[in-house]
Amino acid sequence: MIDEKLEAAHAEVLRRNPGEAEFHQAVREVLECVGPVIAKRPELAREKIIQRICEPERQLIFRVPWQDDRGEVQINRGFRVEFNSALGPFKGGLRFHPSVNLGIVKFLGFEQTFKNALTGMPIGGAKGGADFDPKGRSDDEIMRFCQSFMTELYRHIGEHTDVPAGDIGVGTREIGFLFGQYKRITNRYESGVLTGKGVAWGGALVRTEATGYGIAYFVDEMLRVRGETIAGKTCVVSGSGNVAIYAIDKIHQLGGHVVACSDSDGVVFDPYGIDLAVLRQVKEAERRRMSDYIAYRPRATLRAPGSIWQIPCQIALPCATQNELDGRDAAMLIENGVLAVAEGANMPATPEAVRAFLTAGVAFGPGKAANAGGVATSALEMQQNASRDSWTFEYTEKRLAAIMAKIHALCFETAERFGSPGNYVMGANITSFERVATTMVALGLT
């Protein structure tokens, strides 16, 4: 429920952003949590912090023309929503996927603002991308697309202004093409303008693994306060991209047993445990489909897309995309005895699913907290770039683990302080909102 004092501001967001369902969903989740903060701090209402925080500082939409391998002209739409720069330069990934539109980018940028605040690092929030479908495109086509995208974007970004990174459809290969074009146009080797770079050209060790590793650390913390561990638990991870792969890796390292993952082709169920080497070969090296995994693993089976939450497990990690786990999926997981659920993707659980987990007493880690390890390590990459230094894998991973433990502790303590013990959704939204709001007041009317 949204506090009645916030109803007018909420109605205004709906009215001014028609048809943007995901953005509405993300805003609603935050507004449902922050009523008690507004009640305690009248200056936030006076300064219209809710209205300001829900309005992006700047929204860019641009044409991305490029030529495919047959010489045919293609036109895509590019976006960058610079949501909030109170705590630092705009920061957040780029998503290349046919589903990308302004509403999706706004929901992601809004979420990113709070996630980044939760890391405690000096980074504001943004998101961007294009409705470009990289599936089946050659390296040359990807390069031409990235070059065209950057030919417009370069004028809006910079190490102290806005620092993009990857998201769905954007990994080290794409960041390389984007960075190369930025360097060429600006005549500057400005390492800190993008994160997720290759290690040979300014990237940080652990950035590739960071989101997935961070989720496993967060789950470990949630279970620890309940007197449990990951060791020996059966786990299901949706998706099979960068986030899913390294979540599986760390869950295995911590003694958990991941039996399923997925892509849009279907769900792979591998009762002997997902073979990470095979998964990485098929998805990372060869960029092929989940159905190709089966060929290497005779005991594994391919099930229908969307059926992953029917597999009994104690730990469930939705790491694919928004709204991939609904109320019915949540009911099934609860019936099968799930203990912990953590969002690896951004907003993968619908509001009904979140409510069901919280009501059933399942340890539920919202994306803003559970998947913040990726962007936190991006901030560590920015630190290394600023000092022209590069840290070891061990040191960087230690920093990541400490950041995740701190985020967990903050969310846990805030939830207790506001009378909702164990509710990490409340904890994450209140902690991050307080940080952004307090700084916005300090910086005056901007």
Query: Measured from the CB of residue 445, what is the shortest distance to ligand GLU in angstroms?
Result: 28
Indicate the residue among 93 and 203 with the shorter CB distance to ligand GLU: 93
Cβ atoms of 155 and 185 closer than 8 Å: no
Q: Does the annotation mark 233 as catalytic?
A: no
Q: Quote the tokens at residue 314.
A: 């104690």
Cβ atoms of 348 and 323 closer than 8 Å: yes
Rg (the chain; Cα; Å):
21
Given the rule CB under 6 A, which residues bind ligand GLU?
Answer: 91-93, 115, 165, 167, 195, 346, 374-375, 378
Indicate the residue among 159 and 416 with the shorter CB distance to ligand GLU: 159
Q: Quote the tokens at residue 265.
A: 């082709």
Query: Measured from the CB of residue 381, what is the shortest distance to ligand GLU in angstroms?
Result: 8
Indicate the residue among 93 and 266 with the shorter CB distance to ligand GLU: 93
Cβ atoms of 179 and 146 closer than 8 Å: no
Identified catalytic residue from 127, 197, 233, 368? 127
Indicate the residue among 374 and 427 with the shorter CB distance to ligand GLU: 374
Indicate the residue among 330 and 382 with the shorter CB distance to ligand GLU: 382
Residue 298 β-bridge partners: none
Angle of helix 242-253 relative to helix 207-224, nearest 10 degrees?
A: 50
Query: Measured from the CB of residue 116, what is the shortest distance to ligand GLU in angstroms?
Result: 8
User: Nearest residue by C-beta to ligand GLU?
Assistant: 93
Indicate the residue among 314 and 377 with the shorter CB distance to ligand GLU: 377
Q: Quote the tokens at residue 100.
A: 């990308």
* Unique residue bearing structure tokens 């958990």: 256
Query: Measured from the CB of residue 373, what is the shortest distance to ligand GLU in angstroms?
Result: 9
Tell me the catalytic residues.
127
